[in-house]
Amino acid sequence: MCESHSGKVCVDRASTSYGIVLLIDAQRKPILNAMKKIMLTLVAVFVISMATTYAQSDSTTTTAKQTQSQMQQVPKGYTAIKVDDVPSSLRTTLGGQEYLGWESGTLYQNRSNNQYLVRIGTGADTKSYYFDNGGKRIKDPKQE
């Protein structure tokens, strides 16, 4: 069946039209198959662990940043209010060019001193404006 046998390669001219088929020793084939399975398993475990790690760190970081920024944004004593709750004198002031987009901003009222806070924009572009009950702009209470 084999014309020459060197221990590693067996040449069999009868099995194919080309005349040569290389066969790996019967002892090496199971070892190579086992190594392939181990390598594929390790690659799969690595890919899954990286995906899981990325997903966990990404959502945790985002949630922590959102919670921290929300806590920093609302000064003590201020509560969120609806656009309909804004007094007409403040509405008149907010109608100016400087406060464009205030309707989609965030509005807060400090009920103890009757002051209002209007936040316009998002993220780093957020601007904060403080007003008294009569609609007159005042300085940030923290800076006084």
Q: Please report, for the domain that includes residue 122, its CATH number.
A: 3.10.450
**Per-residue pLDDT reduced to its tens digit, 109-125:** 999 998 999 999 888 88
Number of domains observed in the structure of the chain: 2
Q: What is the pLDDT of residues 78-117, one digit of tens each?
A: 999 999 989 999 999 999 889 998 998 899 999 999 899 9
Of 48, 73, 98, the one marking the end of a domain is 73
Q: Which tens digit of pLDDT belongs to each residue from 6-61?
A: 555 555 555 554 444 455 566 678 888 889 999 999 999 999 988 888 777 555 55
How confident is residue 73, by pLDDT bands cut at 50, 70 and 90? low
Which residue, 73, 108, 127, sits at the end of a domain? 73
Residues making up the chain, counted from first to last: 144
In a domain, 4, yes or no: yes
Domain span at 7? 1-73
